[in-house]
Structure 1
Amino acid sequence: MVEAQARRRGKWASLAIGTLISVACLAFIVQKVDFDQVKLAFQRFEWRYFGLGIACLAFGYAMRIFRWSRILNAAGAQVRFRQCAAPFLGSIALNNVLPLRLGDVVRALVFPTSIGVLRATSTSSLVMERLVDLMTLLIWLAISLSLSRHLPVPGWVAETALALAIAGAAALVAIFVLSGAIARRLKSSPSLPVKALVALLEGFDAMSRLPVLTTLFGLSLLVWVGEAGLFYSLLIGFGLGATPTTAMIVMAIATLATLVPSSPGYVGPFHLAAFAGISLLGGTSDQAASFAVLSHLGLWVPTTLAGAIAIASTPQMFKGLRRMRDQ
């Protein structure tokens, strides 16, 4: 009882902190912009590029779903792209509207039941997916900063991003290499938490074979190329200096900012990071604010709508929740 109350207080505290951070980020931007000029920037935007950006985003999310299906198959689950689409998109929509990334929790523990995937396998796949995404994003950021000479960014920023990517990749490799040996050592334990850990580690072990990792990193590159396409299209639409490297830099900065606690939908930190990225490119405060708003809407609205449709058309995804209640 006491532990449950402590967990609830912790969740409320996290939500409060995230909301305060969101408000602070938005307040900073608001005091920097002239809303009449922001309106003018939207009026001058070439909207045909918005459609191109959404098409790039759709490609990126198709690669995300395909990647998840490949990870699950590597761990022994027999699933196809079509089966994975609804649970994946549904979890993204829930992440967009619920606090504390609850959509990830639902994808790990609830949705897998509907496609015949063990919760331990789904959880392992989610952890691997997030770690590989982070490493890939840091590598893209480091390379893009190195190639983009005209940005007023200190050299140590690119060097730090590259060092973090290398250190993270080394840690990732170590975890996956050792996961099988650790699982075998712990397998004889009767403890339920230890058994859950063993199942998680066994999932890592199955997913960390070299052909699987090679495919995973290749698909991750395509994921971020697709998402960068949205940012590139918006940069062109606003008439800002647009190159693939600058688009990748802005996308990486804004995406990494979503790791900061915030309100649902990553409101605040995402906007401030996108605002800072456009300011680095030489855009005005009004252009930066307009870009931040439109890029967030371009990411949030299509994925939320697609996820809502997936949930509404596939209610059987929640049968895992009923099973959890019955246990």
Structure 2
Amino acid sequence: MTQTHSRKFIKTVPGFLVSAFFLWYTFRHVHPSEFRSLSFVHPLWVLGVIGFTLAGYTLRCVRWTRMMRSTGARFSTCARVLMTSLAANNIMPLRIGDIMRIFTYASDLGAAPSAIFSTVILEKLLDVFVVGLIFVGTMGGDLPVKIRRGADVALLVSTLGLLILMFGAGKLEAPVRKFFAAFPENKLVHKVEHWLLLAISMLRQMGIAGNIVLLVQSGIIWFCEGMIFVSAINLIGLKISPLGPWEAVSFANLSYMLPSSPGAIGPFEWAVKSSLVSHGAPQGVSAVFGLAIHAWMLISVTGAGGLIFLIHRIRMHNHTPLLNEIETLPTELP
């Protein structure tokens, strides 16, 4: 094993340990019989699970195409690149999918890596804002006080930050440069300034009307994501407060911020279980449901993205092993 491989392997070990801990913590009191008890009580809700998954991820592709409009990238190309990157994020460590989107597919998109990176930043800001809003609005009373208070503070900060960025982007560049100029010369500080200026530049190009459209699209995307959980809960006939699925989808996606294995395996299941239990669901069923819905999300998104990736490689007659391509990726973001 080369020194580079060794460093990458060492970086992934803590994440897998975190995942192992959360899986143990989530399922430590779940009896094996509870896994077998999960069944389709109302099979028609399968259509809801599939339909809202398809709608949500199609709209993600539409949203990113809108962000990439200034580069002239087509919907088909943006959809292929986005779904491939999401699939890669689910199976590879260190957010390799996002790195591939920024560097590997820059030529396909006809854009500079820095321009693509600015859209990725904006995408994350919009998603965190909407997910945080859902979480704060649906939190059950059984969640720890620290989580509730932390969510309130995070939502307030992200709301103010996003509103300022979206509606005042045209006037922010000079104050941001002045703010960072007050810090001592530092590589990390310089990168943070660079990333923030990229996001501001993208928002300025979109304009206020364009930014509002992106925000509305983000709201619809997460409505579809929430309806996947609602459909799945109705599918198995789980009796729960109407707010339960919405807290589960928001808390589960916020759990991706925890350093863990690819796909947030472990933290995702714990977050779903905690959310459903806080809204009156039994602990065992909640844990098994978290595992089942996570499996669906991983299989559907990774399967679709992987299939799109393979079809494109065959059409392009690309026979280079994927791991070799990954080795050529830059080690740092632009």
Q: TM-score, normalised by structure 2?
A: 0.80
Q: What amino acid does structure 2 have at the position aligned with 1:180? A: E
Determine if the alignment matches structure 1 residue 49 to structure 2 residue 45: yes
Change (3 A) 1:282 1:242: closer
Q: What amino acid does structure 2 have at the position aligned with 1:134? A: V
| Map of 1:20 onto structure 2 | 17
Q: What amino acid does structure 1 have at the position aligned with 2:80? A: A
Where do 5+ consecutive residues of structure 1 fail to align?
187-192
Determine if the alignment matches structure 1 residue 169 to structure 2 residue 141: no
CA contact (8 A) 1:37 1:286 kept: yes
Change (3 A) 1:183 1:167: closer
Shift of 1:102: 0.8
Distance, in Å, in 1 between the alignment partners of 2:94 and 2:241 is 34
Look up the SS of the partner of 1:32 in the other structure: coil
Q: 1:71 aligns with which of 43, 67, 73?
A: 67
| Map of 1:189 onto structure 2 | none
| Map of 1:180 onto structure 2 | 173
| Map of 1:106 onto structure 2 | 100
CA contact (8 A) 1:71 1:207 kept: no
Distance, in Å, in 1 between the alignment partners of 2:46 and 2:11 is 34
| Map of 2:184 onto structure 1 | none
Q: What amino acid does structure 1 have at the position aligned with 2:68? A: L
Q: What amino acid does structure 1 have at the position aligned with 2:100? A: V
Look up the SS of the partner of 2:39 in the other structure: helix
Look up the SS of the partner of 2:298 in the other structure: helix
Distance, in Å, in 2 between the alignment partners of 1:183 and 1:283 is 47
Shift of 1:164: 1.7
Shift of 1:124: 0.4
Determine if the alignment matches structure 1 residue 291 to structure 2 residue 289: yes
Q: 2:126 aligns with which of 121, 125, 132?
A: 132
Distance, in Å, in 1 between the alignment partners of 2:81 and 2:61 is 9
Distance, in Å, in 1 between the alignment partners of 2:131 and 2:291 is 22
| Map of 2:308 onto structure 1 | 310
Change (3 A) 1:285 1:104: same
Q: What amino acid does structure 2 have at the position aligned with 1:56? A: F
Shift of 1:116: 1.1
Where do 5+ consecutive residues of structure 2 fail to align?
181-187
Distance, in Å, in 2 between the alignment partners of 1:195 and 1:182 is 17
CA contact (8 A) 1:79 1:115 kept: yes
| Map of 1:39 onto structure 2 | 36
- Cα distance per residue 1:89-116 (max 9 Å; x no partner): 0001101110111101111111131121
What is the number of residues matched between the two proteins? Answer: 308
| Map of 2:259 onto structure 1 | 261
Distance, in Å, in 1 between the alignment partners of 2:75 and 2:242 is 29
Look up the SS of the partner of 1:261 in the other structure: coil
Q: 1:93 aligns with which of 71, 74, 87?
A: 87
Shift of 1:134: 0.5
Shift of 1:198: 5.9
Distance, in Å, in 2 between the alignment partners of 1:199 and 1:269 is 28
Change (3 A) 1:262 1:154: closer
Distance, in Å, in 2 between the alignment partners of 1:179 and 1:12 is 40
Look up the SS of the partner of 2:257 in the other structure: coil
Distance, in Å, in 1 between the alignment partners of 2:27 and 2:328 is 45
CA contact (8 A) 1:142 1:162 kept: yes
**Which 10-residue stretch deviates more, 155-164 or 263-272?**
155-164
- Cα distance per residue 1:105-144 (max 9 Å; x no partner): 1111111311212211100000110011101111122223
CA contact (8 A) 1:19 1:263 kept: yes
Shift of 1:162: 3.8
Q: 1:226 aligns with which of 220, 224, 227?
A: 224
| Map of 1:204 onto structure 2 | 200
Q: What amino acid does structure 2 have at the position aligned with 1:72? A: M
